[in-house]
């Protein structure tokens, strides 16, 4: 006798998405989740921090970047990097860094493998979708445009435009409200610990992408399961099960 996924205890449901049937929406982070943008951000930070003599002029390491910068909101990054600076001065530095990123991004932002295949799967089933990011809106709109997804996303939620950015749940809760969907029928794609914590706090399962950040860090943040990219067989197995469960409920 088969058992309904909703009847399974939480520890057995953790690695499954079938309990979300019928699926209403999919929410995506942007940086590192739909495109591999971290190398460009890392380069921009490394160059600009060296120019101001940060860390005695010694270039920051990728490990430092992952721990201090990746997935964080610029307000928090400014406080972490420049605890002795006036906050306005720190934010001006971050604004200049973002402008540098936008200058170098065109032509250098590869989509995560399988992204457009997944987007077609979502569109074909009439599932709603939104991008939810801690990046400035100018960055978010540029990346979405470069990837040819301007018409795909029905909403773009920016952390700085919410009361609180990730790792708080506010941006994801706003996305649910904007799309008019339930957290019980929605899941999230994220690549950072901060983003995963935000999605989990908003009551949704989060699939973690191992684009750049350590796998254990993502699991510790609460990821339901991890995938390398959107071609990953684990993802498609879960999507097939979700469709089958939805069909069985009709």
Q: How many CB atoms lie within 10 A of CB 117?
A: 11
β-strand pairing of 225-227 with 156-158: unpaired
Catalytic residues: 29, 31
Question: Secondary structure of 154-201 in the HEC alphabet?
Answer: CCEEEHHHCCCCCCCCHHHHHHHHHHCCCHHHEEEEECCHHHHHHHHH
CA–CA separation, 143 vs 182, rounded Å? Answer: 27
Sequence-distant (≥ 6) Cβ neighbours of residue 201 within 8 angstroms: 167, 168, 169, 172
CA–CA separation, 241 vs 5, rounded Å? Answer: 10
Angle of the 87-104 helix axis to the 137-146 helix axis, nearest 10 = 10
φ/ψ region of 32 (left if φ > 0, alpha if ψ in -120 to 50, else beta) reads left
H helices within 28-169, ranges in order? 38-51, 62-68, 74-81, 87-104, 115-124, 137-146
Are 17 and 242 in contact, with CB atoms under 8 Å apart? yes
């Amino acid at each position: 006798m088969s058992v309904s996924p909703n009847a399974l205890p939480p520890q057995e449901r953790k690695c499954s998405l079938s309990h979300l049937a019928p699926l209403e929406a999919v929410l995506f982070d942007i940086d590192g989740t739909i495109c591999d943008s971290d190398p460009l951000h890392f380069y921009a930070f490394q160059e600009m921090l060296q120019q101001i003599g940060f860390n005695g002029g010694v270039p920051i390491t990728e490990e430092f970047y992952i721990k201090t910068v990746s997935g964080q909101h610029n307000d928090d990054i400014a406080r972490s990097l420049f605890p002795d600076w006036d906050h306005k001065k720190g934010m001006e530095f971050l604004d200049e860094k973002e402008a540098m990123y936008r200058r170098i991004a065109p032509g250098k932002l590869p989509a995560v493998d399988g992204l457009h295949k997944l987007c077609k799967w979502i569109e074909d089933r009439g599932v709603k979708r939104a991008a939810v990011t801690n990046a400035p809106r100018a960055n978010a709109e540029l990346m979405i445009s470069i990837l040819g997804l301007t018409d795909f996303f029905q909403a773009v939620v920016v952390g700085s435009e919410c009361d609180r950015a990730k790792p708080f749940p506010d941006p994801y809760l706003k996305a649910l409200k904007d799309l008019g969907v339930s957290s019980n029928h929605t899941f999230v794609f994220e690549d950072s610990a901060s983003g995963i914590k935000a999605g989990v706090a908003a009551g949704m399962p989060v699939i973690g992408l191992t684009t750049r950040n350590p796998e254990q860090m993502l699991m510790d943040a609460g990821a339901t399961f991890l995938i390398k990219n959107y071609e990953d067989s684990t993802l498609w197995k879960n999507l097939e099960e979700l469709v089958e469960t939805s069909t069985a409920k009709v």
